[in-house]
Amino acid sequence: MADLILIAASGLAREVLATVRDSGQFDVVGILDDDPGRAGTTMDGSHILGPVSDALNYPDAKVVVCVGAGGGRAGIVERLAGLGFPDRRYATVVDASVRLPEGCRIGHGNILLGHVTLTADVTIGNHVVVMPGVTLTHDDVVEDFATFAAGVSLGGGVRVGRAAYLGMNSCVRERTAVGAGATVGMGAVVLADVPAGETWVGVPARAVKRAMAVA
């Protein structure tokens, strides 16, 4: 069984711990967090060992970044890359309930929690977080550092850009795109392309500034 270190003592890290312990996929060595006040304490029975840069001190362990925001994950990955941390050491954590059909492509550093569904030819980049109950259907493409809150559903052929965030129970129409860094609000129904960096909310979803003007 491979050793695993979690980065960031977060709620997401607690969920990953529960997943890993249930599946027996990894043996968790501990958690790294930059808050000096947490060093030497424990979270859910796992020791907080020191700052993020200490990942280099455990050369035989895999690592997964447990920061909820895609931009935050990207920042940590970039920091570690600058210290010479190799991509091959990033683990992907997949809950035992998740089936990965032939033809689906999954990168490194990803977290797929309970009852995520992938259907056919789904492509997921690197350091993507997919919370419980998400459905990704045929030919969806998810770029690096995207984040899916619980219950998100994508129609077929959707593209989700780098570090985009899709809120709980939102859904996206087939053959549309959510741009890099965009945010889709909770329960939103996306029927058209969401431009990069914009926030869309509502049913049907619209840019926040337009929704406020109508109100």
Rounded CA gap, 16 and 139, in Å? 27
Distance separating alpha carbons of residues 64 and 135, to the nearest angstrom? 22
Cis bond leading into 204, ω under 30°?
A: yes
The answer to whether the beta carbons of residues 7 and 63 sit under 8 Å apart is yes
DSSP label of 138: T
Taking the C-alpha atoms of residue 123 and residue 47, their distance in angstroms, rounded to an integer, is 34
The answer to whether 115 is a known catalytic residue is no
Of 47, 108, 127, 138, the catalytic one is 138
Q: In 3-state terms, what secondary structure has residue 184?
A: strand
User: Which of left, alpha, beta for 12 (phi over 0: left; psi -120 to 50: alpha)?
Assistant: alpha
Q: Which residues of 156-166 are buried (b: 16+ CB within 10 A; e: fewer)?
A: bbbbbbbbbbb
CB–CB of 154/172 below 8 Å? yes
Known catalytic residues are 138
